[in-house]
Structures are given as C-alpha cells and as structure tokens.
Amino acid sequence: MGLLHDTSEFACESFKQFWNRHECERYPDASSVLLTCDGGGSNSANKYIFKYDLERLSSSIGLPIRIAHYPPYCSKYNPIERRLFPHVGRACSGMLFDGLTTVTSLIRRAKTRTGLRTTVNVIKRVFEIGRNATREMKDNLRIVYDDFLPKWNYVANPET
C-alpha cells in the first residue's frame, strides 16, 4: 500500500519488497517470474516507462520477469479481483478511514474460512508522478516481445 500515487515505479517497488520479504526464500531456485497485469493504470501495456521500471526491477532481483497483460476491460478475470478484493471490501465495509493505522488493521483482518489471509506493507516513499520515458530509455530497452500478442506479452531481462 502506498501513501500517494499509483505509479509504475511504485508498482515495481511493491513487487520488489514482496519478492524480497516472502518469495525469494520460498522459491530459491526460481529461474524467472510471471506477473499478470491489468491493461491500464500504472502498469499499462503501452507505457514505456513501465517497461523501463520493469527492467530495473528485473536487474535488482536478478531474474527475468515475464509479463502477461490482461486485455483492456478484462481485469475482472484477474484472480485478485475475485479472490482478494471482495474480502478486503467486506472487512472495511462501514468503517471510517481516519488514519493509516486504521486502514492497515482493517485490511489485515480480511480472511476467509478457506485460508486466505492478508498482509499489508506500507511503502512510505514518495514516487514522482508524470514521469515519461525519454528517447534514450526507449532506445535502450531490452524487452523481448513474444510472437503471440506482443503488445501484451513480453519479458524484461536483467542487465548482464
């Protein structure tokens, strides 16, 4: 969870912290990572700045990151939309968000009988808004686009 704006840099930092706190120990032999992303917002398929930030993320965790974007207006098929958000919404229903502590504690209490539990990490860093990819960034991208639906499927490789 962030304090201000949802930017591509925030999305990448969010995943980096999740990976470093939980997943790198759970998957020590991982050779790559798959991220499914919605088609718009901070992780838009047509934003070069997102691809640039993904390459930096890939280099920082040392693994290639395969991106599979949901087509526009299809985020309802994203499992997080069905499996997490309804339970977070229910946990927060009717509550007044009067501070960060209240919000994080409400989200943390979201759970199901089948074992879903939530964790919340607050990223307090302020990320610059309105960033655009420069010509140099675009020219130096190492993104490898898939043959099938290359606009939505590609790999960000770490710098060697």
Which pLDDT score, from 0 to 100, does residue 39 have?
Answer: 75
* C-alpha distances in Å from residue 113, one per residue of 1, 57, 116: 24, 35, 7
Kindly state whether residue 84 falls inside one of the protein's structural domains.
yes
Alpha-carbon gap, residue 128 to 131, rounded angstroms: 7
> Global pTM?
0.84
- Contact criterion met (CB below 8 Å) for 87 and 110: yes
- Contact criterion met (CB below 8 Å) for 37 and 67: yes
Alpha-carbon gap, residue 72 to 79, rounded angstroms: 16
Kindly state whether residue 2 falls inside one of the protein's structural domains.
no
Domain range holding 12? Answer: 8-156
Kindly state whether residue 125 falls inside one of the protein's structural domains.
yes
> What length does the chain have?
160
Report, as ranges of residue numbers, the positions in the chain whose pLDDT lies below 50.
Answer: none
Amino acid at 22: H
Kindly state whether residue 150 falls inside one of the protein's structural domains.
yes
Across the beta sheet with 33-37, the strand order is 33-37, 65-69, 153-156, 144-145
Kindly state whether residue 3 falls inside one of the protein's structural domains.
no
Look up residue 35 and give its two tokens.
Answer: 């991220």
Which pLDDT score, from 0 to 100, does residue 154 have?
Answer: 96
Kindly state whether residue 36 falls inside one of the protein's structural domains.
yes
Which pLDDT score, from 0 to 100, does residue 22 have?
Answer: 81
Half-sphere exposure of 89 (CA within 13 A, CB side): 7
Which pLDDT score, from 0 to 100, does residue 23 have?
Answer: 87
Kindly state whether residue 117 falls inside one of the protein's structural domains.
yes
Look up residue 119 and give its two tokens.
Answer: 């964790």
Kindly state whether residue 74 falls inside one of the protein's structural domains.
yes
Structurally, the chain folds into a number of domains equal to 1
